[in-house]
């Protein structure tokens, strides 16, 4: 729900277009016309997808573009995301038709841009095209097979690649999601505070505060840490700056070591099973150090974890 609140803000959706998505999309849109739409038409088998959002924006040629934004947080990827996207798009078109939102005659439906925002630790590998989920049809059947693509924003991959704009709110969120320590988090929060200081950003600033407090801190800090009891981003930033690093710094350093070891293992042995990633997250600092040394002589992934 905290991520949904962030991307329920037009400022965050605008930031996606201004610094994250392909520049050609920005050139064709009038971002001042961004408008959220309800998603309560979603069918029963999708009711658990409460993080999904729909926005519409007018293109510079006057035609509306509808944005499906699906928020994916779990580590296990949805391999049939393309099927879900296709079904979700069909429901959206039904809703557009029922609400009489189609263009004037000849009553053509508007284009849709499906975007998956993925914040998991592993890199996104699920097919982004429906046709890649299906057996190849014989030529006589090919014209009748469903096909659709969706755009994945793999936040971790974008952070790893570098080059995210330093003054873009969406890019700053992605970096916070994958921050490596207290110092980096402090710097990112200060930048967000600076960019959201004007009154029109008040709700977004509070949404950032809620996400940092309930999601980022809950995940990154020790259970015994004295967490802030307010969603005020300025108070949270101040507490992070003044709080004793001996309470919070160790846990964050340990998570940074786990991330580094995961990267080394992936580079040497390829994509890691989820069980291995969980084992790294739950390991002590001493275990992580020992496994890091084992990489040097390991011929197999299992050799790293053998004593």
- Per-residue pLDDT of 221-260, as tens digits, reads 655 456 667 889 998 888 877 764 555 555 555 566 677 7
Residue 108 placed within a domain: yes
Structure tokens at 297: 């002589």
Residues 77 and 146 in one domain: yes
Look at the chain and report how many structural domains it folds into.
3
Q: Could you tell me which residues come within 8 angstroms of residue 99 by beta carbon, excluding any fewer than 6 positions away?
A: none
Of 16, 13, 128, 155, residue with least CA distance to 72: 155
Return the structure tokens found at 145.
Answer: 């097979």
Shared-domain flag, residues 233 and 130: no
Both 154 and 276 in one domain: the answer is no
Tell me: do 200 and 283 sit in the same domain.
Answer: no
Q: Is residue 15 part of a domain?
A: yes
pTM of the shown model: 0.77
283 vs 139, more confident: 139
Domain for residue 167, yes or no? no
Q: What is the mean pLDDT of the chain?
A: 84
Q: To which residue do tokens 């950032």 refer?
A: 208
pLDDT for res 97 = 87
Are 14 and 98 in the same domain?
Answer: yes
Predicted pLDDT of residue 244: 46
Is residue 116 scored above 50 in pLDDT?
A: yes
Angle, alpha carbons 11-191-179 (nearest 5°): 100
What is the average pLDDT across 104-128?
87
Number of H helices, E strands in the chain: 14, 5
Nearest to 41 by CA among 88, 107, 104: 88
Residue 64 pairs in a beta bridge with 58
pLDDT digits (tens, 9 = 90+) for 260-305: 778 778 878 888 888 888 888 777 767 777 788 788 778 888 888 8
If one compares 106 and 109, the residue with the highest pLDDT of the two is 109
Q: Is the pLDDT of residue 47 over 50?
A: no
Q: Residue 77: pLDDT band by 50, 70, 90 thresholds?
A: confident
């Amino acid at each position: 729900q905290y991520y949904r609140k962030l991307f329920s803000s037009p400022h965050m959706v605008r930031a996606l277009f201004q610094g994250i998505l392909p520049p050609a999309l920005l050139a064709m849109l009038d971002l001042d016309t961004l408008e959220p739409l309800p998603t309560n038409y979603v069918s029963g088998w999708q009711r658990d997808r409460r993080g999904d959002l729909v926005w519409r924006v007018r293109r510079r040629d006057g035609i509306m573009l509808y944005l499906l934004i699906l928020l994916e947080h779990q580590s296990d990827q949805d391999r049939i995301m393309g099927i879900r996207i296709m079904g979700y798009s069909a429901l959206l078109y039904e809703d557009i038709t029922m609400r009489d939102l189609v263009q004037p005659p000849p009553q053509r439906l508007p284009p849709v841009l499906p975007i998956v925002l993925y914040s998991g630790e592993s890199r996104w590998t699920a097919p982004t095209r429906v046709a890649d989920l299906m057996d190849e049809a014989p030529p006589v059947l090919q014209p009748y097979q469903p096909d659709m693509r969706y755009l994945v924003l793999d936040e971790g991959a974008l952070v790893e690649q570098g080059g995210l704009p330093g003054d873009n709110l969406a890019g700053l969120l992605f970096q916070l999601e994958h921050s490596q320590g207290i110092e980096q988090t402090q710097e990112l929060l200060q930048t967000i505070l600076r960019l959201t200081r004007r009154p029109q950003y008040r709700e977004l600033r509070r949404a950032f505060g809620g996400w940092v407090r309930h999601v980022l801190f809950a995940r990154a800090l020790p259970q015994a840490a004295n967490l802030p009891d307010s969603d005020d981003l300025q108070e949270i930033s101040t507490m992070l700056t003044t709080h004793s690093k001996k309470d919070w710094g160790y846990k964050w350093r340990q998570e940074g070591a786990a991330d580094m070891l995961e990267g080394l293992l992936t580079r040497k042995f390829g994509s890691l099973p989820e069980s291995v990633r969980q084992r790294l997250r739950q390991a002590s600092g001493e275990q992580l150090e020992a496994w890091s040394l084992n990489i040097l002589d390991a011929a197999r992934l299992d050799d790293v974890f053998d004593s």
